[in-house]
Structure 1
Amino acid sequence: MARRAREDELPDSFRTAAREAGADLSALPSSYLGGQLLIAMPSMQDPRFAQSVICVCAHSADGAMGIVLNKPLDSLSFEDLLKQLEVEPLPPQRQIRLLAGGPVEGGRGFVLHTTDWSSEGSLKVTGDLALTASVDILKAIAGGGGPREGLLALGYAGWGPGQLESEIQRNAWLNVPADEALLFGGIPDTMWRQALAKMRIDPLLLSASAGHA
């Protein structure tokens, strides 16, 4: 299982939350959304998140962070990233999908992955998901090992205390439990509709006044 993440490996916005919760999000109250998918409502005004699907990786009273799942990073390949970081072997024995994970700390990488692989710096999201920000996981993947499933995001989406809750109350987001097939096998161009279909929702029937899950 993934161990507690070290505080210096977590973004500033949720170091306090991770410390208080021991970075084991399964221990947080059920009102928190760690491990859930956020699905943007059609009325989403922020162009950075229009039709986005986000996996919430940490959520507490001190704020939340998540990884946008359906914004491919086309400007950089995994091999190019490994070259920049001087990680071998090159070419890598495995590939991993690269995403623009959100507008915060866009130069920092996070791997969202299954928990069959973990390190000292891995943050447990759920019993099946972990988040790792160290280069160790990139070395493992490049060498043909690492987790069974994973994706690499540059940057993340962040919310301050109470901000995500407020946005959900204003019907900016729907939320639904994450599943591995959608997380790691979803097609970015159609993931938003796939996520809504998981909830048996037709996006054409949604409006700004619709309720939330």
Structure 2
Amino acid sequence: MEHLNSLEHHFLIAMPNLTESWFDKTVIYIVEDNEHGTMGLVINLEHNLTVPELLDHFELTVEAPETYADQPVLMGGPVDLEHGFILHEPQGAWQKSLPLRDNLAMTVSEDFLKAMAEGTAPEKTVVCLGFSGWEKGQLNDEIQANNWLTIPYNEALLFDVPHDQKWQVALNTLGISPESLSMDAGHD
């Protein structure tokens, strides 16, 4: 099967035919897409934890509670649900941080959580537990099976759009509504 170009630094938008799956109406930021597979984070599925509750779990005293007061932790995917990932701008110098593109980074270290508690971390953050992963070629097969649409990275979609509106807004960037989508692929 033909390999599509890398989807790194793009969003996946779940098609309506995924309604009875974990990925129902999800938008996923693709962190990595290479010869080993694909890793992404769901950016619109809220966990029952808030950021202050997560910080409390790490016994970190929140010194600036208003900064992240109502910010939910997101469910980044069905894999490794106990592992945390933080997408943020600007990149900064954190212990375990992967610089991405457009001044975006993914950090997985407790020093970032401590900075959040102290109110010194970047304000633009998305905190996820778990991730979404695909083996080499699997995601391309799913895209060709009409399970996903893709769009380029958009900072506003990641950080500014309310989580419950991200799926609709992502579709709107393509000029389509959910009602106009077919569940059948237009190719064999």
Q: What SS is found at the alignment partner of 2:17?
A: coil
- What is the rounded CA distance, in whole Å, between the counterparts of 1:189 and 1:58 in structure 2? 25
Q: Secondary structure at the match of 1:176?
A: strand
Counterpart of 1:80 (choices 48, 53, 56) is 53
Cα distance in 2 for partners of 1:148, 1:80 equals 17
What code does the residue aligned with 2:81 have?
G
CA RMSD of aligned residues (A): 2.2
CA distance 1:199–1:80, change in 2 (3 Å)? same
Question: Which deviates further from its counterpart, 37-46 or 150-159?
Answer: 37-46
Aligned counterpart in structure 2 of residue 107 of structure 1, from 82, 87, 90: 82
Once the two structures are TM-superposed, the CA of residue 157 in structure 1 deviates from its matched residue by: 0.6
> How high is the sequence identity, in percent, across the aligned residues?
39
Alignment partner of 2:119 out of 138, 141, 144: 144
Once the two structures are superposed, the pairs formed by residues 114-193 of structure 1 within 5 Å of their partners are 114-193=89-168
Residue 69 (str. 1) matches residue 47 (str. 2)? no
State the AA in 2 paired with 1:192.
Answer: W
* Deviations, residues 119-170 of structure 1 (Å, cap 9, x unaligned): 2421122133111010111111211111241110011111111111111111
Q: 2:53 is matched by which residue type in structure 1?
A: D
Matched residue count = 183
For 1:185 and 1:210, locate their aligned partners in 2 and report how far apart those are by CA, in whole Å. Answer: 32
Distance 1:58 1:135, change over 3 A: same
1:93 positional shift: 5.8
CA contact (8 A) 2:11 2:152 kept: yes
Unaligned runs of 5+ in 2: none
- Distance in 1 of aligned mates of 2:103 and 2:185: 31
Report the alpha carbon displacement of residue 90 of structure 1 after superposing the two structures with TM.
4.8
- Counterpart residue identity of residue 52, structure 2: E
Structure 2 distance, partners of 1:78, 1:45, is 28
1:7-22 aligned at under 5 Å gives the runs none
Contact 1:92/1:143 (8 A) holds in 2: no
Which residue is 1:40 aligned to? 14
Contact map agreement 1:65 1:157 (CA 8 A) in 2:
yes
Deviation at 1:60, TM superposition (A): 0.5
AA at the equivalent of 1:169:
Q
> Where do 5+ consecutive residues of structure 1 fail to align?
1-29
Q: Do the aligned partners of residues 199 and 210 (structure 1) sit closer, same or farther apart at CA in structure 2, a change above 3 Å counting? A: farther
Higher alpha-carbon deviation: 55-64 or 113-122: 113-122
Q: What SS does structure 1 have at the residue aligned with 2:149?
A: strand
- Which is strand-richer, 1 or 2? 2
